[in-house]
Amino acid sequence: MKTWITLKDGRVNDIVTTPDDNPPSFGKDWNEVPNDWKGNHGDKLGWFNSDMRRIPDRELVKQGKREDNRGRVFNTTDQSQRIIHHLDEPLGEDETKEAPLDNEPFQVFDTEKKKWVIDEKKREIAEKESALGAVLAQIRDYEERGKRPNQEITLGIEVEENTKWLRKFRTDIESLRPEVNRLEAELAELKESA
């Protein structure tokens, strides 16, 4: 028995095994290959050595004749994942095999360095927003705590004591206003430059 193949565009096209030493009779350019050549339809001619023996895939990858991106790949814009199952499946323009940093919400993919890096500007904006939120929450707390003394003053209950508390809350609120203004200005500047 003999194995015969045809080539088309540098790839294996047809594969036929004949019971004798003669190529198939239907009119194509048949090339004899070893019976144990282990090739498949669609294989590139460059994947075989001069004896038409199939080169193992791991060696083809080392030689740069095949691309191995198998495994988990990550989108560089939203960090979503997909799995590549086959050899020669290319990465998308916005994909990398480099895994994102663990537990780091402020990261971006640096296309020049080909790795994930911390976006310091985003981190600083988030920290300023958090600090501003905490100061505003403190002001709301003082305002809420001032409601009862204000109601009691209106009703004439312990006016002097409640007035003292209201003044304290107002003083505390006013002492926080410069911090609010500072954080809002810094945030606006950071967002403008982002």
Same domain assignment for residues 130 and 180: yes
Same domain assignment for residues 171 and 125: yes
Q: Report which residue type is found at 64.
A: G
Tell whether the model's pLDDT for residue 28 goes beyond 90.
no
Residue 90: exposed, middle, or buried by beta-carbon count in 10 A (0-12, 13-18, 19+)?
Answer: exposed
Tell whether the model's pLDDT for residue 19 goes beyond 90.
no
Cα four-point dihedral sign 132, 134, 140, 146: negative
Same domain assignment for residues 127 and 188: yes
CA separation for the pair 157, 149 (Å, rounded): 9
Same domain assignment for residues 148 and 161: yes
Express each pLDDT in 60-94 by its tens digit. 999 999 999 999 999 999 999 999 999 999 999 99
Write out the residue range of the structural domain in which residue 95 sits.
Answer: 71-117
Express each pLDDT in 160-194 by its tens digit. 898 999 999 999 999 999 999 999 999 999 999 87
Same domain assignment for residues 182 and 136: yes
Of the residues 117, 133, 154, the one at which a domain ends: 117
Sheet strand arrangement including 2-8: 11-18, 2-8, 31-33
Same domain assignment for residues 124 and 187: yes
Same domain assignment for residues 100 and 125: no
Phi-psi domain of 39 (left: phi exceeds 0; alpha: psi -120 through 50; beta: other)? beta
Taking CA atoms, 87 is separated from 38, 40, 65, 67, 91, in Å, by 17, 14, 11, 6, 11
Same domain assignment for residues 178 and 126: yes
Same domain assignment for residues 143 and 125: yes
Q: What is the CA radius of gyration of the chain?
A: 36
Q: pTM of the full predicted structure?
A: 0.63
State the total domains in the chain. Answer: 3
Q: For residue 37, which of 11, 68, 2, 73 has the smallest C-alpha distance?
A: 2
